[in-house]
Structure 1
Amino acid sequence: MSQGQPRFITADGFAKLRAEYEELFSNERPKLVETISWAAANGDRSENGDYIYGRKKLREIDRRLGFLAKVMKAAKIVDPAAQGSRDQIRFGATIELADEEDLRRTLTIVGDDEADASAGRIGWSAPLARALVGARVGDERTVRLPAGEKSYEVMAIHYPEA
């Protein structure tokens, strides 16, 4: 994560990050600290599985909390409904694409921290998203993928209503 570089994200994506942070900080971590304290009171820590596992899990939670805090601090919330140029692909656009075999797929360009390819949400810095930004309906764009180059035609562009 570069210093000073904003991390674009939708309001929904930011809310999900905040909810995960709150769940970890308010529920998961306190329960784990209680378990570790209980395990530590049981004597020899070197062979105490609850204690050893608890400490390891606590480090994982603390790392995740630190990561989420950094992401939320650098986040710049963008409202896709407020995009001025609705005839071009920009952040937050939902796009219908057709490939060379006329196979259709629908994608939404979102922040990298909320991307989920299986749900059709791709991060705005992904190669496909970068190739599509600025395109209009009817434009064809070629993207270089690990399996080779692939061309897509933009069939439709939608933005959420304000």
Structure 2
Amino acid sequence: MTRYRPPQPQSSPYISKPGYKALNEELKGLWKTRREVTAALSAAAAEGDRSENAEYIYRKKQLREIDRRIRYLQKRLDVLIIVDKPPTNQQQVFFGAWVELEDEEGNSVAYRIVGPDEFNVEKNWISMDSPVARALMKKSLDDEVSVQRPAGPIHYIITGIHYTED
């Protein structure tokens, strides 16, 4: 048995303007944090034996994690496409849409379709690569949508579509 894992499929390159700005701010913050961690690492290294120095080991691990995230953000920001205008046909579901859905029991839920780098469960922002968003794309008002779940399929009816930042 090997530890090989095939690479993840490439996620969609779309992002909203505020999402791009947030990733850029995160990158700038990581560079500041990296300077502080590097200084702490140097101080820990100066204490002597590094093999038993918990502070040194922790700071090295922290620095690796920061560097990994910086590399990811630098590569990702280069390929992202900022979507800052709503589509011409606002009667269909596309990137940035708030979609109101009703299930078979009459329960309502609203999702905003965003890029994979900015989804947020608390805000009901779902990635455009998620199964629900894929099922919703290019659908119109009053269309029925079926989403396959591990517990079985669930059916929704689209009761509203709007394009606002809220």
Ranges in structure 2 where 5+ consecutive residues have no aligned partner: 1-7
Root-mean-square deviation over aligned CA pairs: 1.6
Matches within 5 A, 1:80-159: 81-159=85-163
Normalised to the residue count of structure 2, the TM-score between the two structures is 0.90
SS at match of 1:24: helix
Ranges in structure 1 where 5+ consecutive residues have no aligned partner: none
In structure 1, how many angstroms separate the alpha carbons of the residues matched to 2:71 and 2:9? 15
In structure 2, how many angstroms separate the alpha carbons of the residues matched to 1:2 and 1:69? 19
SS at match of 2:154: strand
How has the CA–CA distance of structure 1 residues 118 and 148 changed in structure 2, closer, same or farther, with 3 Å as cutoff?
A: farther
What's the % identity of the aligned pairs? Answer: 41
Contact 2:12 2:129 in 1 (8 A): no
Matches within 5 A, 1:25-64: 25=31, 27-64=32-69
1:72 pairs with 2:77: yes
Q: Once structures 1 and 2 are overlaid, which stretch shifts more, 100-109 or 81-90?
A: 81-90
What is the deviation of 1:129? 0.4
Contact 1:6 1:76 in 2 (8 A): no
- Greater share of helix: 1
What is the deviation of 1:160? 2.2
Output one character per residue of 1:59-82: Cα deviation in whole Å (capped at 9) or x when no partner.
Answer: 010001111111111101112x43
In structure 1, how many angstroms separate the alpha carbons of the residues matched to 2:134 and 2:12? 17
Output one character per residue of 1:89-136: Cα deviation in whole Å (capped at 9) or x when no partner.
Answer: 001000111000110011000001111223200100111001011111
Tell me how many residue pairs correspond in the alignment: 158
